[in-house]
Amino acid sequence: MNIILFEEHEVHSALSRDDTRVVHVLEVLRRQIGDSTDVGLVDGPRGKAILQSVDDAEVTFQFTWGEEPQPLLPIDLIVGLSRPQTCRKILQEATSLGVRSIFFIATDRGEASYATSKLWTSGEWQSLVRAGVEQAFSTRFPKVQFGVGLADVIESIEISDGRVCLDNYEATVGLLEATLNAPNQNSVVLAVGSERGWSEGERNLFRRHDFLLAHLGERPLRTETATIAAISVVTAALRSR
């Protein structure tokens, strides 16, 4: 982890000696009394924590706060619910890249049992999001929802200037061209299908809501690879405007 995150209530009291963050500070970073470590408040500023005391039961830090990290990217990601291992990669990497929301949706061709994986039922997904935030030296957490329907997401999400759906079969324009040519584009809803792709009904639903079907080239990609590549392309297009 490149930054250690704390909730507001945690900075005013000692931490348990076996807290995973304390273990990281003492055993991985090998900090000694008086040394400082990069820390952040969840959805708040970054700063430094000076190690003040250590005993067998607990550890205390002195916190000082500095600047706020950059806001999350104005990218809302819709992903077809995929194999748990694929979703694990997307959760952490898309969070590291800075998208502001991720919706894992049930799709016509997707496997329904994926929604009951321990990734989702045990809360494991939350630790992956946290790891992505820490990797990016940020404190900003994206909104994450899973197991919802495509129509519900489209209706609930704040529709952005750019609306792009990756599709290997019917897209006629590249993703970069699609995002660069959207007029007055300040934000993007980006949709990526699961391993089996979109159904015709889902493509029609996207079209009815003004999504442009776009591609990343001729090579079929894994869902996680396509997702990360697409976020990178859209980010570059947004920053060039």
Tell me what pLDDT residue 187 has. Answer: 87
| Count of alpha carbons within 13 angstroms of residue 92, beta-carbon side | 13
Q: Are 78 and 118 in contact (CB under 8 A)?
A: no
Residue count of the chain: 241
* Co-location of 92 and 143 in the same domain: yes
Same domain (yes/no): 185, 216: yes
Please give the pLDDT value at position 155.
83
Q: Which of 20, 48, 65 is the last residue of a domain?
A: 65
Q: What is the 3-state secondary structure (H, E, C) of 145-212?
A: EEEEEHHHHHHHCCCCCEEEEECCCCCCEEHHHHHHCCCCCCCEEEEECCCCCCCHHHHHHHHHCCCE
Q: Which domain holds residue 199?
A: 73-239
Same domain, 189 and 87: yes
User: Does pLDDT of 183 surpass 70?
Assistant: no
Give how far Cα 117 sits from Cα of 63, 171, 195, 207, Å. 38, 32, 17, 31
pLDDT in tens, 114-166: 889 999 999 999 999 999 999 999 999 999 999 889 998 988 876 667 889 99
The predicted structure's pLDDT at residue 110: 85
Same domain, 45 and 81: no
pLDDT of res. 178? 81
Whether the pLDDT of residue 241 is over 70: the answer is no
- CATH number (domain holding residue 81): 3.40.1280.10
Q: Are residues 61 and 96 in the same domain?
A: no
110 and 58 inside one domain:
no
Indicate the number of domains in the chain. 2
Does one domain contain both 37 and 103?
Answer: no
Q: CB of 199 within 8 A of CB of 109? A: yes
Q: What is the pLDDT of residues 7-47, one digit of tens each?
A: 999 999 999 999 999 999 999 999 999 999 999 999 999 99
Question: Which of 65, 86, 112 represents a domain boundary (last residue)?
Answer: 65
